[in-house]
Amino acid sequence: MPSERKNMPKNMTGKLYQTLKGKTFETPAIWLMRQAGRYLPEYLETRAKAGSFLDLCYTPELASEVTLQPIRRYGFDAAILFSDILTVPHALGQHLEFAQNHGPQLGELPPLDSVDFSMFHVNLSPVYEAVSTIRAQLNKEGFSSTDLIGFSGAPWTLACYMVDRQGSKDFAKTRIMALTDEPKFQRLVDILVEAISVYLAHQINRGANVIQIFDSWAGVLPPDQFRKWVIAPTQKIVSNLHATHPDTPIIGFPKGAGFLYDEYVKKTGVTAVGLDTQTPPEYAAKNLLPLCPVQGNLDPFTLMAGGAELDHQTDIIKSTFAGKPYIFNLGHGIDKDTPPENVARLIQRVRAA
């Protein structure tokens, strides 16, 4: 694998990276899932220039711009690449479009016996260039100690979209395929493990110094299938990345894992785990923090509501994880209707000693 990183601008490791390596701070590192997005007026202006959501993702200068907007406004401890988890199925040859008010719409599942990984990386070259551009721009604008998170969807979650071809409450088509045609489904997951592993490695080579794997639909599976389609494929990706980039921390986010969170951490080998909104902080502090750093998990609607309840819930989370390797975040992505001033209030509260 080419070592492109040696030609990239050097950056200091920041508070997020150090927390993932086990260091504790008086106040936690903070970033928010979907921190670059529709709640910010500057994002909406840039989005209008792009023409379409995919054009925004695939235009490095624009993807860099929206990635940096919340860093300039709020000074988060980490930037996260602006892209979408569905760029991976798109690069594998599946048609993808984002219909207004209908979410992602995907075409027929591409043939699984003729995947061209050389074309896969050509298709994703704008994303790789965006990572390089973001890292260089962070350094140029005085944010050299701001960590840069690269990411991908996990195999199970990507397979859900690829088989069902759109969002769903239960992803019934995918779950039935996994039960009735396991060899074909296993082939799809194996392709995704390979694609995601190299995709994330390229992001690291271009300047990402932290990785997050989003398994947004892990919670729809019963325990035995969770182990087969969430834990096992994620473990393979983590192992692949550790072999080539052993110093890069990996955050796993198996949304809805419930009481399988600890097994997920133990068996996948992730560096840290992201908590969803339904995970009680006291449970995570008792059962997960002895295993690894944790990240999460303020309710996004509490952030949207703001006010005294936002302060109260923020304080509960902070006090529960005080003195531990902990990263403040939401339990899911920030909602588009969140007032920007509520985010500023949150950051002030988190950073208050």
Q: Which residues are catalytic?
A: 34, 38, 47, 84, 161
Ramachandran angles phi, psi of 161, nearest 5°: -70, -35
Question: Comparing C-alpha atoms, which of 154, 138, 134 is closest to residue 146?
Answer: 138
Half-sphere exposure of 68 (CA within 13 A, CB side): 21
CA distance 122 to 127: 10
**Hey, what are 206's tokens?**
């271009």
DSSP reduced 3-state for 179? helix
The type of residue at 55 is D
Beta bridge partners of 78: 147
The Cα–Cα gap between 109 and 111 comes to: 7
Beta-carbon contacts of 90 under 8 Å, excluding residues fewer than 6 positions away, are 54, 96, 123
Smallest CA-to-CA distance from 109 within 166, 194, 52 is with 166
**What angle is formed at CA 335 by the lines to CA 329 and CA 339, rounded to 5 degrees?**
95
Query: Which token pair is 190?
Result: 């194996």
Residues 6 or more apart from 198 whose CB is under 8 A from it?
1, 117, 121
